[in-house]
Copies of this chain bind each other. A is one copy, B any other.
Amino acid sequence: MEVFAVEGLPEVRPGDDVAELLVRQADLRDDDVVCVASTIVSKANGRGRSLSSYEPSGRAERIAATIEDIANEEKDPRMAQAILDECEEVLVEAPFILGVTEFGHITVNAGIDRSNVPGADLLLLPEDPTAEAEAICDGIRERTGVEPSVIVTDTSGRPFRLGQRGVALGWDGLPASRDWRGEHDRDGRELEATVQAVVDELAAAANLVTGEGDGGTPAAVVRDFDFGDHAGSEQLFRDPEKDVVRQALREWSHVRD
């Protein structure tokens, strides 16, 4: 399996066609997995925003003040408002805002980026990353006849472990997971619940070659990945009612009486 960055992509602007940009820079194959940073999908979709377009609600003001208080970190109430606007549910208000996006991803600041966004104060995540992955996949097929899989990725933090890693937000052309249930181990014993989130592992692999800073690139190709002869599963985000960590966070508050 090979992982390489797509070099030479331009600064992406609202209205740009990401599929067109990709096929100009890379000779893609049917069994490639093209991992595209959500940043450029958002830029193409015009998801850049200026802070001055946000009018903070009382809640946003209160959250920003609490964060300033306990995290000792400047928090613009308009940024808090932008985050609230992107959240279907807020799980943690302080010391940082942890939110659930409309499409089910749970991440700090609802994934709003303030880096790598020339010409805007902030960049929202794509509204429907799986629809975007499908559109990029379709666009590549229409232009080249080749139909690779596409994953729209982000770099995101996680509980328990420091640092961030690449994750999948949306995908097309492959299942989210390899489902090993019912298959057997080396001892002939049936494997216990084992669902392998391959789209996240592919996104993580891609993130190793794309990077975060000004020297990076916003797309990578995984070539010769073999999904293998396994069942697939489409769901990547936990059912809210069965997610213990989500339940616990709903009940928790950093601010004590």
* Residues A197 and B2 in contact in the complex (CB < 8 Å), given A212-B180, A228-B211, A245-B249: no
* Residues A243 and B159 in contact in the complex (CB < 8 Å), given A186-B116, A187-B117, A201-B166: yes
B115 near A163 (CB under 8 angstroms)?
A: no
* Residues A247 and B252 in contact in the complex (CB < 8 Å), given A163-B233, A164-B196, A201-B165: yes
Interface positions, chain A 68-82, Cβ under 8 Å from B, are none
Interface positions, chain A 138-172, Cβ under 8 Å from B, are 155, 158-167
Look across to chain B and name the residue whose beta carbon is closest to the beta carbon of A179.
B163
A202 near B208 (CB under 8 angstroms)?
A: yes
Q: Is A103 in the interface zone, CB < 8 Å from B?
A: no
A165 near B196 (CB under 8 angstroms)?
A: yes
Look across to chain B and name the residue whose beta carbon is closest to the beta carbon of A228.
B211
Q: Which of A19-27, A58-66, A125-133, A234-242 contacts B (4 or more CB under 8 A)?
A: A234-242
* Residues A200 and B204 in contact in the complex (CB < 8 Å), given A162-B236, A163-B177, A163-B236: yes
Q: Is A3 in the interface zone, CB < 8 Å from B?
A: yes
Contact residue among B194, B238, B251 (Cβ-Cβ distance under 8 Å from A161): B238
A194 near B162 (CB under 8 angstroms)?
A: no
CB distance from A113 to the nearest CB of B (A): 9
Annotate A94-138 by CB proximity to B: 1 below 8 A, 0 otherwise: 011010000000100000001111100000000000000000000
Q: Please classify how large the interface on chain A is, using the bins under 10, 10 to 19, 20 to 34, 35 or more.
A: 35 or more
B3 near A118 (CB under 8 angstroms)?
A: no
| A254-B183 Cα distance, complex, nearest whole Å | 31
* Residues A115 and B185 in contact in the complex (CB < 8 Å), given A200-B204, A204-B204, A248-B249: yes
Q: Is A44 in the interface zone, CB < 8 Å from B?
A: no
Q: Is A42 in the interface zone, CB < 8 Å from B?
A: no
| A242-B187 Cα distance, complex, nearest whole Å | 42
A-B contact pairs, 19 of them (CB 8 A): A1-B2, A92-B244, A106-B159, A114-B189, A115-B189, A158-B158, A161-B200, A162-B176, A162-B177, A162-B235, A162-B238, A163-B177, A163-B197, A163-B200, A184-B213, A194-B212, A196-B211, A205-B205, A244-B249
- Chain A contacts to B: CB under 8 angstroms: 1-4, 11, 92, 95-96, 98, 106, 114-118, 155, 158-167, 176-177, 180, 183-189, 191-192, 194-198, 200-202, 204-205, 207-209, 211-214, 225-226, 228, 233, 235-238, 243-249, 251-252, 254
